[in-house]
Copies of this chain bind each other. A is one copy, B any other.
Amino acid sequence: MRIPLDISNEIPLYRQIENWFRTNIQSGSLPAETKLPSTRELANELGVSRITVKNAYTNLESDGVVYTREGSGTYVSPPIPDLGVRPPIQPATWPLWQMEVEDDYAIEPAPPYLSPSDTIAFIGVGDPREFPLKEFARTVREVFDHDGIEALEYGGLHAGYPPLRETIAHILASQGIAARPGEVLVTGGSQQALALVCQALLKPGDTVLVEKPTYNFALELFRSLKLKITGIPVDSQGMQVEYLEPVLQKQHPRLIYTIPVFQNPSGMCMSISRRRQLLELAARYNVPILEDDFVSDLRYEGRSLPAIKSLDPGGQVIYTGTFSKMLMPGLRIGYLLADGPIFDRLLRLKWVQDLATSNLMQHVLDTYVTVGRYQSHVRRSTRLYRKRRDAMQMAIRRYLPAGVTYAVPHGGLFLWLRLPEGMTCTELLPKAMHQGVEFSPGTRYFPDPDEGLPFIRLNFATHTPEEIDEGIRRLGKAMRDA
């Protein structure tokens, strides 16, 4: 049987085999009672492991598509009911209300999920190869043994698994943010925290102040909620707070969104005096601050500054953090920290949005994360990523034209490059992809995308120094083409 397999495809091989049989059995190409090759034969033929073929056969059999005759082999089952393959509907026949579904905010299409397998992609968050997979898998077993079925129940309608909320409060305390567990709300990643805050505080047409550049998915969220977005420029000391007051006076924004540490994408930190100034202005003009602390632990040099939240006498700042960047993004667990009447409102919104975040994942995370373990994970990541940042700087000096400029970030994940005069990220990207290197174009990070044309964001944490060297070499080639 010549089953076409695509090893670069994200669909597992066993599933590709399974699908091939399913399609050919349904279409009648493999009629009932056809004998399938033995798992050994097919594995040899396809050059895959026997387990892979076995997995495919087991699934087909458990769905009744094939059956096994003891001591004889595997056969196609008698015809099964139509599995619902139907022709696509013509767009002209959509019901009227669907034709009115306009999309009046532009979201950039997600980057293609499958890049050619040898592309060096300076995108994403941490390096998945560094995740403590074995230790984590052991923790999952522990949770099943220890908490049993409890971990698989809803876990009740509350702000999160109580021990995890305590753990988060302890971790925050170790970073100088005095948090009571009762002020912690567990969310589906920090993206959900942002969405909840916006939905609790803003309505369509309201203005939100952001740094420019800023986190692209915050921008997409604000656009989807039909907010007006005003950008305040960032320099090497973070948001240029001196531009803030006239905007506060004129535009009456309802929220200030800031990433004060290792800002995404610029990598810069807000100075302590600006932090105080920002707090003071926010209080004077009665505007809440949303402080997004996505990666402040990953500091490679210098001293950490107090979070804006920790300077807040009470209730002005809503703080959000995440475990995604430090541990496993697939968990989708973040949190926010809020005190005052807003906490209850956020909690209620969380309930109606999705009732709760996966209780199992919360149990696992809480068992896995202790303050000590968290800090040792951070120390390890810091050592590793600092080297990679330095490797990228070295490669940039070596391979990129002199016109490329950037400020060195003291932590985090990103280098934010200004391209040589006259070059744009949108013309560079296809050339770079052609050379086998990917970056995130600057246009994603500005309220007005055109302002981002001269910039690209490189994630230095996802690749080894050798891969970084090769990737930047390719980028240099792409720049010479551009």
Contacts and interface: CB of A to CB of B under 8 A. Distances in A.
Interface in A171-202: 172-174, 177-180, 187-189, 191-192, 195, 200-201
Given A84-B179, A195-B352, A195-B354, A64 B372 contact: yes
A481 interface: no
Give the interface centre of A129, A332, A344 by most chain B CB atoms within 10 Å: A332
Given A154-B330, A224-B352, A94 B314 contact: yes
A12, A95, A355 pick with most chain B CB within 10 angstroms: A95
A204 B357 CA distance: 26
Number of copies: 2
Interface residues of A, number: 119
Nearest to A224: B352
A96 interface: yes
A83 B167 CA distance: 11
Contacts of A154: 124-125, 324, 329-330
Interface stretch (A29-37, A145-153, A261-269, A399-407): A145-153
A362 to B, nearest CB: 9
A351 B144 contact: no
A183 to B, nearest CB: 10
Contact of A353 (B146, B342, B353): B353
Interface in A324-339: 324, 328-332, 339
B203 A173 contact: no
A353 B192 contact: yes
A316 B94 CA distance: 8
Given A103-B348, A154-B124, A288 B221 contact: no
B329 A354 contact: no
A397 to B, nearest CB: 31
Contact of A157 (B88, B110, B339): B110
A152 B331 contact: yes
Contact of A178 (B86, B163, B169, B220): B86
Which of A55, A129, A354 has the most C-beta atoms of chain B within 10 angstroms of its own C-beta? A354
A217 to B, nearest CB: 7
Contact of A177 (B84, B136, B330, B352): B84
A313 to B, nearest CB: 7
A358 interface: yes
Given A156-B110, A351-B107, A313 B93 contact: yes
A97 B152 contact: no
Nearest to A96: B286
A109 to B, nearest CB: 9
Interface of A is mostly: helix
Contact of A169 (B55, B84, B146): B84
A193 to B, nearest CB: 9
Contact of A173 (B59, B84, B96, B371): B84
A27 interface: no
A203 B111 CA distance: 30
Q: Which of A55, A93, A316, A352 has the most CB of B within 10 A?
A: A352
Contacts of A203: 204
A371 B172 contact: no
Contacts of A166: 15, 19
A131 interface: yes
Given A141-B137, A371-B62, A152 B89 contact: no
Contacts of A128: 149-150, 152-153
A89 B328 CA distance: 35
Top 9 A-B pairs ranked by shortest CB distance? A84-B178, A62-B372, A84-B173, A330-B359, A152-B328, A89-B314, A110-B157, A152-B330, A192-B354
Given A81-B174, A192-B354, 5 more contacts: A82-B178, A94-B315, A95-B314, A96-B286, A137-B141
